[in-house]
Structure 1
Amino acid sequence: MEFESLTLTPFTATIVFVLAVLAGHRYRAVWKAEGPRWQLWLYGIVAALGLMLLGFLPLDV
């Protein structure tokens, strides 16, 4: 598999961005409410992976 061919379309990047923002918002809400740790991990990992995808994969414009 060639990693050079991995790119994000603008639509896909928008979807990933929205999911990362929503996961970050849920992370903060659970953190403030001192909720279950598994939810913190779940939302934190989803937000981090989404932002890493946006940061390291180029856009196919």
Structure 2
Amino acid sequence: MLLTLVLTPVTATLIFVAGCLAGYQYRRTWKAGGARWKLWLYGVVAAAAFLTLGFVPMAEPGI
């Protein structure tokens, strides 16, 4: 049994928004000279979001 993983447009949009917000917080923390753990946290969240969007297919309309 093969599990098919696809993103719905709403889910993909939410992941995209989360990735953008994490990237924005990463940049703000980096420019302010903030804590390294915050940089790692925001960077990993942003990277995971955009890698998910890049490698998980979107659902076909009507599915």
Q: TM-score by structure 1 length?
A: 0.93
The number of aligned residues is 60
Q: CA RMSD in A?
A: 1.1
Matches of residues 1-61 of structure 1 in structure 2 within 5 Å? 2-3=2-3, 5-61=4-60
Matched residues, percent identical? Answer: 55
Q: TM-score by structure 2 length?
A: 0.91
Question: Structure 1 unaligned runs (5+)?
Answer: none
Greater share of residues in helix: 1
Runs of 4+ in 1 over 4 A off after TM superposition: none
The structure with the largest alpha-carbon Rg is 2
